[in-house]
Amino acid sequence: MGDRLRAAPLAILLLLALMLIASFWVLIPVGDRGVWTRFGRVQPLILDEGLHFIIPLVDRVTNLSIRIQKQETTTEAASQDLQSIFTNIVVNWHILPEKVNRIFQKIGSQSAIVECIIDPAITEVVKAVISRYTAEETIIHRDQLKATIEQEINLRLAPYFIIIDDLALIDLQFSPRFREAVESKQIAQQEEKQAEFMAKKAIQLAEFQINLAKGEAESHRILQSTLTPNILHYQTIQRWDGSLPLITDNNHNSFVELDDLIEAKR
């Protein structure tokens, strides 16, 4: 029993010693960088991944992730024609690893970067860009709209050493009245195209009939100009089978063939 009582303080002392030794070291996990402060002053040295020696109560290390982060934002904006448009945008971003100490000094923690810098920048840029387009143009030029928003957000965040890796314009929502107007316009355009197609088809048919009639008239003209009396006489002879017509009297009782008459005259 006495041995156990004597061993307990030794175990406690050993644990305290291990804790004291551990306080001299800090571990920076994969995908993070450590911001080193000494007496509250940010130091220029940025701690990379791994184990680093520090002085307890003097040094402090704050981890900031340099991995790609995702931020989704929903914003209401007014178009050039004063239509309300609700946008759902997803932004993938990361901070520059070599500038984490400056970022921490200017902004603070990871959550502060999102709340104070990224969200307000996305909202302001989206409202500013959409105001340059009509509601219909945001649909027609969606790719151009996305590219412009991404470019301007990048410019807005560059002074804070934040880089936009990708931006996705997930959704554009319009008022019910505007959607009805767009549907009505599409139906009218489809009907107009159908009518235009039918008109072109009718014109083509009329032109075909005119050309056909012209061809027939030209054919008749050529035929009439080439049929001389000699040609007609020649064609008649060529088609004659050599038989003369049969002559009958009024009562149809007797008949005479012209062949017989010619033979009798000879």
Are the beta carbons of 246 and 257 closer than 8 angstroms? yes
- Segments in the chain forming alpha helices (H): 2-22, 100-106, 110-112, 119-130, 135-140, 142-157, 176-226, 229-239, 258-265
What pLDDT digit, counting tens, does each position of 25-64 carry?
889 999 999 999 999 899 999 999 989 888 888 889 999 9
Amino acid identity, position 228:
T
Residue 150 clears pLDDT 90, i.e. is over it: yes
The overall average pLDDT reported for the chain is 80
User: Could you write out the DSSP letters of every residue in 25-75?
Assistant: EEEE-TTEEEEEEETTEEEEEEE-SEEEE--TTTEEEEEEE-S-EEEEEEE
Average pLDDT (154-165) is: 94
**pLDDT greater at residue 86 or residue 209:** 86
**Sign for the pseudo-dihedral over CA of 227, 232, 234, 235:** positive
Cα separations in angstroms, 152 against 74, 122, 149, 191, 238 = 17, 9, 5, 40, 92
Residue 121 clears pLDDT 90, i.e. is over it: yes
**pLDDT greater at residue 136 or residue 187:** 136
Angle CA 197–200–206, to nearest 5: 140
Measured distance CA(243)–CA(240) in Å, rounded: 7
What pLDDT digit, counting tens, does each position of 180-217 carry?
766 666 656 666 776 676 778 778 777 777 777 777 76
Are the beta carbons of 90 and 70 closer than 8 angstroms? yes
| Confidence band of 96 (pLDDT split at 50, 70, 90) | very high
Quote the DSSP letter at residue 109. S
Are the beta carbons of 135 and 85 closer than 8 angstroms? yes
| Confidence band of 263 (pLDDT split at 50, 70, 90) | low
User: Which of 95-104, 202-211, 252-261 is the least confident region?
Assistant: 252-261
Task: Judge: domain 69-174, CATH 3.40.50.1100.
Answer: no
Burial 126-136 (b: 16+ CB within 10 A, else e): beebbeebebb
Residue 260 clears pLDDT 60, i.e. is over it: no
Residue 246 clears pLDDT 80, i.e. is over it: no
Q: Return the domain boundaries, the chain.
A: 2-65, 69-174, 176-226
